[in-house]
Amino acid sequence: MEELKASKDRLEEAVSVLAHQDNEIKASRNQIEEAESKLGERVKELNASRDRLEEAKCKLEERVNELKASRKQLKEVDSVLTKTRRCLKLAESQYKASEAERGILLPKIETLENNVQKEHNLLKKAEAKCQQLKDEVSRLQHEVQITKSANRPE
pLDDT in tens, 33-92: 999 999 999 999 999 999 999 999 999 999 999 999 999 999 999 999 999 999 999 999
User: C-alpha 62: how far from its chain's center?
Assistant: 22
Question: Beta-carbon neighbour count of residue 97 at 10 Å?
Answer: 10
pLDDT tens column, 9-41: 888 888 898 989 989 999 999 999 999 999 999
How many other CB atoms are found less than 10 A from the CB of residue 74? 10
In which band, very low, low, confident or very high, does the pLDDT at 153 lie, cut at 50, 70 and 90? low
Collapsed DSSP state (helix, strand, coil) of residue 18: helix
pLDDT, residue 33, reads 92
The per-residue pLDDT for 131 is 96
